Amino acid sequence: MTINYNRFPGGKPKALTMSYDDGVVQDIRLIEIFNKYGIRGAFHINGGLFGKTALRQRISKDEIAKVYAGHEISLHGYTHQSLSVTPSIRIAEEIYKDRIALESITGEPVRGMSYPNGSVNDEVVNIISSLGVEYCRKVETTGGFSLPSDFLRWSGTTHHKHNLLELGKKFLEITLKWQPYLMYVWGHSYEFDEDNNWNLIEEFCKMMSGKNDIWYATNIEIVDYIKAVRGLKFTADQKTVLNQSMTDVWISVDGVDIKIAACGLTKL
Domain match, 60 and 159 both: yes
CB 260 within 8 A of CB 9: no
**What DSSP element (H or E) covers 20?**
strand 14-21
pLDDT computed for residue 55 by the predictor:
84
Q: How far apart are CA 134 and CA 246, in angstroms?
A: 17
Q: How far apart are CA 50 and CA 145, in angstroms?
A: 34
Q: How far apart are CA 216 and CA 208, in angstroms?
A: 10
Decide: helix, strand or coil at residue 123.
helix
Domain match, 221 and 263 both: no
* Domain range for 28: 13-228
pLDDT in tens, 205-239: 999 999 999 999 999 999 999 999 999 999 999 99
Residues with Cβ within 8 Å of residue 199, at least 6 apart in sequence: none
Q: Is residue 4 part of a domain?
A: no
Domain match, 85 and 194 both: yes
Decide: helix, strand or coil at residue 22.
coil
Q: Which of 125, 128, 79 is nearest to 101 (CA)?
A: 79
Q: Which amino acid is at 75?
A: L
User: What rounded mean pLDDT belongs to the chain?
Assistant: 96
Q: Is residue 118 part of a domain?
A: yes
Domain match, 127 and 55 both: yes
pLDDT computed for residue 53 by the predictor:
86
Cβ atoms within 10 Å of 228's Cβ, excluding its own: 18
Domain match, 195 and 249 both: no
Q: Percentage of the chain surpassing pLDDT 90?
A: 97
Q: Is residue 259 part of a domain?
A: yes
Domain match, 159 and 176 both: yes
Q: Is residue 5 part of a domain?
A: no
Does residue 177 carry a pLDDT above 90?
A: no
Q: How far apart are CA 184 and CA 180, in angstroms?
A: 13
Domain match, 188 and 70 both: yes
Q: What is the mean pLDDT of residues 158-172?
A: 98
pLDDT in tens, 58-105: 999 999 999 999 999 999 999 999 999 999 999 999 999 999 999 999
Q: How far apart are CA 91 and CA 95, in angstroms?
A: 6
Q: Is residue 8 part of a domain?
A: no
pLDDT in tens, 185-207: 999 999 999 999 999 999 999 99
Residue 179 DSSP label: S
Ramachandran angles phi, psi of 254, nearest 5°: 55, 40
pLDDT computed for residue 8 by the predictor:
97
Looking at the DSSP bridge assignments, the partners of residue 114 are: 137
CB 135 within 8 A of CB 111: yes
Domain match, 247 and 165 both: no
pLDDT in tens, 114-124: 999 999 999 99
- Number of domains into which the chain is organized: 2
Domain match, 223 and 260 both: no
Q: How far apart are CA 139 and CA 92, in angstroms?
A: 21
| Residue 268 banded pLDDT, cuts 50, 70, 90 | very high
Domain match, 159 and 236 both: no
Q: Is residue 88 part of a domain?
A: yes
Domain match, 78 and 164 both: yes
Decide: helix, strand or coil at residue 181.
strand
Q: CATH number of the domain that 179 lies in?
A: 3.20.20.370
pLDDT computed for residue 178 by the predictor:
86
Q: What is the mean pLDDT of residues 22-43?
A: 98
CB 208 within 8 A of CB 41: no
Domain match, 67 and 198 both: yes
Q: Is residue 6 part of a domain?
A: no
Ramachandran angles phi, psi of 17, nearest 5°: -140, 150
Q: Is residue 81 part of a domain?
A: yes
